[in-house]
Chain A
């Protein structure tokens, strides 16, 4: 088992070099999307972002704030199996570099990943929150969606005792 550091977006060679059991630290820019985003993309919708080589993260983050001043409080992975009906089509259409989530996926996705040279890293539910630098996410909302895409630069987890910018601790 190796510890791998990769940047998103990535080239197909990087994706193909990841092996089952590797621990992967992702930095760069990633994009999140859940059921409605996948359904939209799989049924012919256009992405407001170029997803080529991106890490597509199955995640419904907690986001507070208004347009222009978003703060991401927590962003762990959601159950990937819910995207199974759409994932293979999304991979074929948009060529993301990797799909990140939890709980594993089905055979169709598996085939699509092999065919397109991508990978599926599984996340540790809470840990991904530690990896994200909150406060710097940008939202792209498409008019047809209830659920937006969120994109963010990510880095390694802040050290313990170095609270995220979103930290709080008072009782009103």
Chain B
């Protein structure tokens, strides 16, 4: 691989993620605006959101000042030097932080100091998955506010009268959306992991946010439940930025992971309206083959 080409690809991937709202998210927000009464607070809020996203795209400025936690999933054949990809990601991260496209978001939890360049212990997160095909990099910037309202349930849950079935899952997800109110910057996109363990639940749920809004779940039962949850969440009245309205959720992605017989976790990853993620496929030289 050509390291300078690879570096430019990672730079462009991160730049785009911070400054260009993905097309599926923009479309979902536009559709949501049409559902809101003209001149309502909800419609005005969505107007401002869309206008601001347009300005960010045109001027290559961050969509949100909270440029989140950098999170990457790399799929590559065994022969690929993954350390080289990590180096390219870290270098692009540091450059974009200096340029102000990314905020310095890595704070030492013990002494409160900010590393200043978005790197630190376990930051950035880069997950490698072996694959047969070309190198694919999925990159996400997920803001702190939306991460704070993400949550995990252990079923059965008395408080929600949620049992170990899909009805229990529905109750958990709606509870998470309700408790988030406007704090997660609604209208959000949620991805859920049904099953798994405490750790894999959060990882699978977060990775599920790479699914595009409007893309159907191949599992018929889960697809049906996704529609039900989205529809019911939009009846909660939380609305854009929590200021009231018919649009609280843009979409829901349900994922399943094998569970231990004794455990039944439901993990909800909440993503704000500024859902920022892009996926790119690289050619052998490290250049961008295509955007996915």
Contact = CB atoms under 8 A, between A and B. Distances in A.
B64 A171 contact: no
B86 interface: no
A129 B65 contact: yes
A127 B54 CA distance: 11
Given A102-B241, A166-B61, A60 B103 contact: yes
Interface in B110-161: 112-114, 144-145, 148
Interface string A135-170: 000000000001000000000000011011011110
Contacts of A28: none
Interface stretch (B93-101, B165-173, B189-197): B93-101
A12 interface: no
Interface in B49-89: 49, 51-56, 58-67
Contact of B58 (A1, A75, A161): A161
Contact of B182 (A75, A102, A163, A171): A102
Give the contact-size bracket for chain B.
Answer: 35 or more
A71 B185 CA distance: 25
A96 interface: no
Given A73-B61, A81-B183, A172-B11, A160 B241 contact: no
A64 B64 contact: no
Main secondary structure of the interface of A (DSSP, over half): loop
A171 B11 contact: yes
Given A166-B61, A169-B59, A160 B49 contact: no
A63 interface: yes
B93 to A, nearest CB: 14
Nearest to A36: B112
A104 B186 CA distance: 12
A124 B64 CA distance: 10
Interface string A67-93: 000010111101101000000000000
Choose among A62, A123, A163, A169 the residue with the greatest number of B CB atoms under 10 Å from its CB: A62
A79 B274 contact: no
Nearest to B67: A62
A30 to B, nearest CB: 15
Contacts of B148: 79
Interface stretch (B40-48, B248-256, B257-265, B277-285): B40-48
Interface in B192-240: 240
B183 A60 contact: no
A103 B272 CA distance: 12
Interface in A118-135: 122-127, 129-130
Given A103-B145, A122-B243, A21 B41 contact: yes
Contacts of B243: 122
Contacts of B184: 103
A16 B71 CA distance: 44
Given A79-B148, A104-B242, A171-B8, A126 B56 contact: yes
B181 interface: yes
Contacts of A76: 64-66
Contacts of A62: 62, 65, 67, 100, 102-103
A130 B274 CA distance: 15
Contacts of A14: none
Contacts of B274: 125-126
A167 B64 contact: no
Choose among B39, B100, B114, B273 the residue with the greatest number of A CB atoms under 10 Å from its CB: B100
A99 interface: no
Contact of A1 (B15, B41, B59, B67): B41
Contacts of A64: 98-100
Contacts of A166: 61, 100
A104 B101 CA distance: 28
Contacts of A79: 144-145, 148, 183
A75 B48 contact: no
A74 B41 contact: no
The list of the 3 closest CB pairs from A to B, nearest first, reads: A64-B100, A74-B65, A126-B52
Given A125-B241, A125-B272, A168-B99, 4 more contacts: A1-B41, A102-B241, A122-B243, A126-B64
14 contacts: A60-B66, A60-B103, A64-B98, A71-B100, A73-B65, A103-B145, A126-B64, A130-B55, A160-B58, A161-B58, A168-B59, A168-B60, A168-B99, A172-B95
